Structure 1
Amino acid sequence: MAKNKPATLPKFNSTAELVDFFDTHDMGDYLEQMPEVDFEIKIKRRKHLIALEEDVVTKVTRIAKAKKVSSEALINTWLKEKLQQVS
Structure 2
Amino acid sequence: MNDTSRTKQIDPIPEEFDSYEEAAEFWDTHDTADYPDDFVTMQINTELRQRHYVIELDEDVVVTLRKLANEKGIAVRQLASELLRDQLVAA
TM-score between the two structures when normalised by the length of structure 1: 0.51
What code does the residue aligned with 2:88 have? L
**Aligned pairs, number:** 49
Shift >2 Å, 4+ stretches: none
Larger Rg: 1
* Partner in structure 2 of residue 56 of structure 1: 61
Segments of structure 2 that go 5 or more residues without pairing to the other structure are 1-42
CA distance in 2, matches of 1:83, 1:70: 20
Q: How does 1:35-50 map to 2 (within 5 A)?
A: 39-50=44-55
Gapped runs of 5+ residues in structure 1? Answer: 1-37
SS at match of 2:77: helix
SS in 2 for 1:46: coil
| 1:74 matches 2:91 | no
TM-score between both structures, scaled by the size of structure 2: 0.49
- From the superposition, tell whether residues 39 and 67 of structure 1 become closer, same or farther in structure 2 (CA, over 3 Å): closer
More helix by share: 1
Of structures 1 and 2, the one scoring higher in RCO (CA 8 A, sep 6+) is 1
